[in-house]
Chain A
Amino acid sequence: MIIKSRQSSDLRYSQVTPKGEYLNRRRFLSAGSLALGALTLPAQPAQAGTKLEGVVKSSYTVSDKATPYKDVTTYNNFYEFGVDKEDPAVNAKNFRTSPWTISVEGDVAKPRKFDISEILKIAPLEERIYRHRCVEAWSMVVPWIGIPLNALLKLVEPTAKAKYVAFQSLYDPRQMPKAGALDFPYMEGLRLDEAMHPLTMLTVGLYGEVLPNQNGAPLRLTVPWKYGFKGIKSINRIRLVGSQPSTSWNTMAAREYGFYSNVNPNVDHPRWSQAKERRIGEFFKRDTLMFNGYGDQVAGLYSGLDLKKNY
Chain B
Amino acid sequence: MKRILSSRWVKPVVFLAALAPLLLLVWQFFHDGLGANPLQFITHATGDWTLRFLVFTLAVTPLRKLLNLPDLIRFRRMLGLYAFFYGCLHLMTYLWFDKFFDWADIVKDIAKRPYITIGTLGLVLMIPLAITSTVGWIRRMGGKRWQMLHRLTYVSIVAGVIHYYWLVKLDVSRPLFYGGLTAILLLYRVAVWFMKSRARRVPAPVAA
Enumerate chain A residues within 8 angstroms of B39, measured Cβ to Cβ.
278
Shortest distance from the beta carbon of B49 to any chain A beta carbon, whole Å: 17
Interface window among A14-22, A23-31, A78-86, A165-173: A78-86
User: From residue 83 to 127 of chain B, which have CB atoms closer than 8 A to chain A?
Assistant: 97-98, 100, 105, 109, 113, 115
Q: Are A271 and B170 in contact (CB under 8 A)?
A: no
Shortest distance from the beta carbon of B119 to any chain A beta carbon, whole Å: 12
Q: Are B171 and A83 in contact (CB under 8 A)?
A: yes
Q: Are A271 and B113 in contact (CB under 8 A)?
A: yes
Residue of A nearest to B32 (CB): A70
Residue of A nearest to B115 (CB): A271
Enumerate chain B residues within 8 angstroms of A70, measured Cβ to Cβ.
36
Q: Are B100 and A285 in contact (CB under 8 A)?
A: yes
User: From residue 151 to 198 of chain B, which have CB atoms closer than 8 A to chain A?
Assistant: 166-167, 169-171
Q: At the interface, yes or no: A300 with Cβ under 8 Å from chain B?
A: no
For the complex, give the distance between the alpha carbons of A280 and B38 in Å: 9
User: From residue 98 to 148 of chain A, which have CB atoms closer than 8 A to chain B?
Assistant: 136, 138
Q: At the interface, yes or no: B37 with Cβ under 8 Å from chain A?
A: yes
With A75-B36, A75-B37, A280-B36 known as contacts, the answer to whether A273 contacts B109 (CB < 8 A) is yes
Shortest distance from the beta carbon of B4 to any chain A beta carbon, whole Å: 36
How many residues of chain A have a CB within 8 Å of chain B? 23
With A182-B170, A271-B115, A271-B167 known as contacts, the answer to whether A85 contacts B35 (CB < 8 A) is yes
Enumerate chain A residues within 8 angstroms of B113, measured Cβ to Cβ.
270-272
Enumerate chain B residues within 8 angstroms of A280, measured Cβ to Cβ.
36-37
How many residues of chain B have a CB within 8 Å of chain A? 17
Shortest distance from the beta carbon of B116 to any chain A beta carbon, whole Å: 8
Q: Are B171 and A181 in contact (CB under 8 A)?
A: yes
Query: What 1/0 flags go to A73-94 for Cβ under 8 Å of B?
Result: 0110001000101100000000
Enumerate chain A residues within 8 angstroms of B98, measured Cβ to Cβ.
285
Shortest distance from the beta carbon of A17 to any chain B beta carbon, whole Å: 34
Enumerate chain B residues within 8 angstroms of A273, measured Cβ to Cβ.
105, 109
Q: At the interface, yes or no: A71 with Cβ under 8 Å from chain B?
A: yes
Q: At the interface, yes or no: A13 with Cβ under 8 Å from chain B?
A: no
Enumerate chain A residues within 8 angstroms of B167, measured Cβ to Cβ.
271
Q: Are B35 and A74 in contact (CB under 8 A)?
A: yes
Consensus secondary structure, chain A interface: loop
Q: Are B36 and A71 in contact (CB under 8 A)?
A: yes
For the complex, give the distance between the alpha carbons of A85 and B41 in Å: 11
Shortest distance from the beta carbon of A154 to any chain B beta carbon, whole Å: 36
Q: At the interface, yes or no: A281 with Cβ under 8 Å from chain B?
A: yes
Enumerate chain B residues within 8 angstroms of A307, measured Cβ to Cβ.
none
Q: At the interface, yes or no: A2 with Cβ under 8 Å from chain B?
A: no
Q: Are A281 and B36 in contact (CB under 8 A)?
A: yes
Q: At the interface, yes or no: A302 with Cβ under 8 Å from chain B?
A: no
For the complex, give the distance between the alpha carbons of A242 and B166 in Å: 36
For the complex, give the distance between the alpha carbons of A79 and B167 in Å: 17
For the complex, give the distance between the alpha carbons of A68 and B97 in Å: 22
With A181-B170, A271-B115, A272-B113 known as contacts, the answer to whether A75 contacts B35 (CB < 8 A) is yes
User: From residue 257 to 293 of chain A, which have CB atoms closer than 8 A to chain B?
Assistant: 270-273, 278, 280-281, 283-285
Q: Are A278 and B37 in contact (CB under 8 A)?
A: yes
Residue of B nearest to A72 (CB): B36
A-B contact pairs, 6 of them (CB 8 A): A71-B36, A75-B35, A75-B37, A136-B169, A278-B37, A278-B40
Further pairs besides A85-B35, A181-B170, A271-B115: 15, Cβ < 8 Å: A71-B36, A74-B35, A75-B36, A79-B170, A85-B36, A86-B35, A136-B169, A138-B37, A270-B113, A271-B166, A273-B105, A278-B37, A278-B40, A280-B36, A283-B97
Q: Which residues of A contact B (CB under 8 A)?
A: 70-71, 74-75, 79, 83, 85-86, 136, 138, 181-182, 252, 270-273, 278, 280-281, 283-285
Q: Which residues of B contact A (CB under 8 A)?
A: 35-37, 39-40, 97-98, 100, 105, 109, 113, 115, 166-167, 169-171
What are the 9 closest A-B residue pairs judged by CB atoms, nearest first?
Answer: A75-B36, A71-B36, A83-B171, A181-B170, A181-B171, A280-B36, A271-B113, A138-B37, A280-B37
